[in-house]
Homo-oligomer: A and B are copies of this chain.
Amino acid sequence: MAEIVSLSEAIESLLNDGDIVALEGFTHLIPMSAGYEIIRQAKKNLTVVRLTPDLISDQMIGMGCVSKLIFSWGGNPGVGSLHRLRDAIENGWPLPLEIDEHSHAGLTNRFVAGASGLPFAVMRGYRGTGLDEVTPTVAPIFCPFTGEELRAVAAINPDLSVIHAQRADRKGNVQLWGITGIQKEALLAGNRSLVTVEEIVDELDPRPGDVVIPSWLITAVAVSPGGSRPSYAAGYYQRDNDFYIAWDAISRDRETFMKWMGENVLSAAS
């Protein structure tokens, strides 16, 4: 059964330097506040897994928490580049960044395999592309019935998987709705898991399109109102599109970025 703890306790007890950590939320319900807490606790040498690294990974990379990134699309959605991600790959600043790169479908299936307790998943993809050559977690596999050549992708089982959700009840059952993306699979693939939530309520009244994750599948739940900003939580607040656009200028320059992080993240309480 999930323990209900504070966000800072959760990151302190569940995440170690050198861990593989997945932070999921496909454009919606991105666990931003967990990322801030990881930065405040100056975790090091992390392998971050995320389909769309987004601002959360840009910040963790720029602050030197990340030595490897497993991803499938590393941009600022609708805006352009992630400048901290680019600076790390192109110039090794603040640290060199190793990458393990997939398509969305490929990384999705790595999570599905991880959630299913299998060492790999099978898919139609990669053949003829450059990723097929450069990515070691992709391999040929042949159908034992038809002989057809397909691709296997290696399962991913993060040490810790973090997602953000709208609500939990007092037993730690979690409810999310709207675009629910890859969150369930990412959570189930994790050896440990943390769900940050907008609020804890007495009763999770059913909602159309909701996904309810029982407490017994979760390690810890932490309350973190606004924990997705500048991403959004359907029913709670909207996506701050202006901030995504503003991030381009903030993150483009190393000093401006460090100053912003100091003022807005490092000095903030969790």
On A, residues with C-beta under 8 Å from B are: 117-124, 137, 139-141, 143-146, 148, 150, 152, 154, 206-210
Chain B residues within an 8 Å CB radius of A123: 118
In Å, the complex CA distance between A140 and B154 comes to: 18
Chain B residues within an 8 Å CB radius of A154: 145
Chain B residues within an 8 Å CB radius of A210: 208-209
- Shortest C-beta distance, A17 to chain B (Å), equals 26
Partner of A118, one of B119, B122, B144, B206: B122
In Å, the complex CA distance between A207 and B124 comes to: 34
- Shortest C-beta distance, A246 to chain B (Å), equals 35
Minimal Cβ-Cβ distance residue in B for A212: B209
Chain B residues within an 8 Å CB radius of A119: 143, 145-146, 148, 150
Chain B residues within an 8 Å CB radius of A208: 206-208, 210
Task: Report whether A145 and B120 are in contact in the complex, using a CB–CB cutoff of 8 Å.
Answer: yes
